[in-house]
A and B are shown apart, each in its own frame.
Chain A
Amino acid sequence: MSLATLLLLADGRLPSGGHAHSGGLEPQIAAGRVRDVDGLDGFLRGRLATGGLVSAAFAAAACADTGRAAELDVGLDARTPSPALRRASRAQGRALLRAGRAMWPVPAIGREPHQPVALGALAAAAGLTPVEAAVAAAHGTTTGSASAAVRLLGLDPYAVHALLARLAPECDRIAAVAAARSGDPVDELPAAGAPLLDIGAEHHATWEVRLFAS
């Protein structure tokens, strides 16, 4: 393992398309459910406990055995009822794979895998461990939406980073839980969902004017 490599993989500046996605935050802001740092706190904790846990588990599993990529990909389809969120996850997986292929020898795992599967495959190719893949997934779940909140709501960036610092131990905990199950059969991996985010994503996809891709 290499800590510097992990930092590279988890860096928001990695050119992997993440800057154009709000992690479901844009529709929740429009609906008035997230207005300030406290609202963002609740949103991010909810994201971590649901999509964050699922992403971390699938990234860890793909890292532990990249040969399971296709099976894990189907498992994520089953856990993503919103077609808009499936498209968003695959678009981000494709973009992440593009960046990863330029950096490490990533095995062929299809053209548009789900983002956590791509993340796990990249982590493995970079010589990282499943728990590190899971940390990168959980970290990305919070930082992507937090950055979108700064841009959409004009929140104080220091207050938002203070929140991210408070959430870091929770990211580590979720990642440890996820990585401990990385060898489980796909059907038994975490399947926590957030119906309001699914509904929000479907509405968002129909907006005439939107700033984020998802």
Chain B
Amino acid sequence: MHPELHEHGPDEVPHTHPDPGVDPHTPLAGGPRALRIGIGGPVGSGKTALVAALCRALGEEIRLAVVTNDIYTTEDADFLLRNGVLPAERIRAVETGCCPHTAIRDDISANLDAVEDLEEKLGPLDLVLVESGGDNLTATFSKGLIDQQIFVVDVSGGDKVPRKGGPGVTTADLLVINKTDLAPMVGADLSVMDRDAKARRHELPTVFLSLAEDKQATPVADWIRGLVAARV
């Protein structure tokens, strides 16, 4: 049916095709592909700032690309470009039709296509960061899209956020509590957040961060370095 794709030469070894015409490839073979890390969290918690910091910290040492899912499509990608942290060809924006959580959990096709296109265009990558659009505390990534997920909350959302839980806080592989520099100004008690996060998350790690002070997001970058190293 596709003779142009399958030519039989004169010295062909005799063989049969048990299922001619059927695509034998399963999508998403777990072969040598990049580690994929999802970054989710409420609007304004600092997801894009974290991605920018990780690009600054890791962009020179590993092969890195970013997929953004902001509801305003190109806004997050533009932020990264304006800040000059990653060349344009390493960033892809995905539209989510007003449903940021659908695009990372229920119907991940556009994100998978974006990740695969980046890997195809740029060659092998070590790490792809998939940043979700700002959503709520229930947003989580599908395991069909990412290997590990980071959930970003900030202290100005109130020190009760870890206690409220929700799948993002309780199940994310890394919980990042951002904007610790604002804690005194908003009356947030970091020890309460730490205690509640431990209670909710048991063994899963939590880090405190102030992206205003730590432009390389050091604890998060180190966590990712460990994952990338463990993969090769």
Q: Which residues of A contact B (CB under 8 A)?
A: 13-22, 67, 91, 94-95, 98-99, 101-102, 105-108, 148, 151-152, 208-213
Contacts and interface: CB of A to CB of B under 8 A. Distances in A.
Main secondary structure of the interface of B (DSSP, over half): loop
A196 to B, nearest CB: 21
A209 B97 contact: no
A188 B228 CA distance: 55
B29 to A, nearest CB: 12
A20 B96 contact: yes
Nearest to B97: A20
Interface in B5-27: 5, 19, 21-23, 25-27
Given A16-B107, A19-B107, 8 more contacts: A13-B107, A15-B109, A16-B109, A20-B99, A98-B112, A107-B23, A151-B99, A213-B110
Contacts of A105: 19, 22
B221 to A, nearest CB: 31
B97 A108 contact: no
Contacts of B98: 151-152, 211-212
B113 A213 contact: no
Nearest to A99: B109
Given A20-B97, A213-B95, A15 B22 contact: no
Interface string B93-105: 0111111001100
B74 interface: yes
Contact of B109 (A67, A95, A209, A212): A95
B106 A208 contact: no
A151 B71 CA distance: 13
Nearest to B102: A19
Contacts of A213: 94-95, 97, 110
Contacts of B26: 101-102
Contact of B23 (A14, A67, A101, A208): A101
B111 to A, nearest CB: 10
B73 interface: yes
B2 A108 contact: yes
B109 A21 contact: no
Given A19-B107, A99-B109, A209-B73, A67 B1 contact: yes
B107 A108 contact: no
B75 interface: yes
Interface of B: 1-2, 5, 19, 21-23, 25-27, 71-75, 94-99, 102-103, 106-110, 112-113
Contacts of A19: 96-97, 99, 102-103, 107
Nearest to B1: A67
5 contacts: A15-B107, A19-B102, A19-B103, A107-B23, A108-B23
B90 to A, nearest CB: 20
Contacts of B106: 13, 15
A101 B27 CA distance: 8
B183 to A, nearest CB: 33
B16 to A, nearest CB: 17
Nearest to A214: B95
Given A15-B107, A19-B97, A19-B107, A108 B21 contact: yes
A93 B26 CA distance: 17
Given A108-B2, A213-B95, A98 B22 contact: no
A91 B107 contact: no
B74 A208 contact: yes
B3 to A, nearest CB: 12
B227 to A, nearest CB: 26
B95 A212 contact: yes
Contacts of B73: 209-211
A17 B95 contact: no
Nearest to B27: A98
Nearest to A67: B1
B110 A106 contact: no
A22 B23 contact: no
Nearest to B72: A209
Given A95-B113, A213-B110, A21 B97 contact: yes
Contacts of A151: 97-99
A102 B142 CA distance: 16
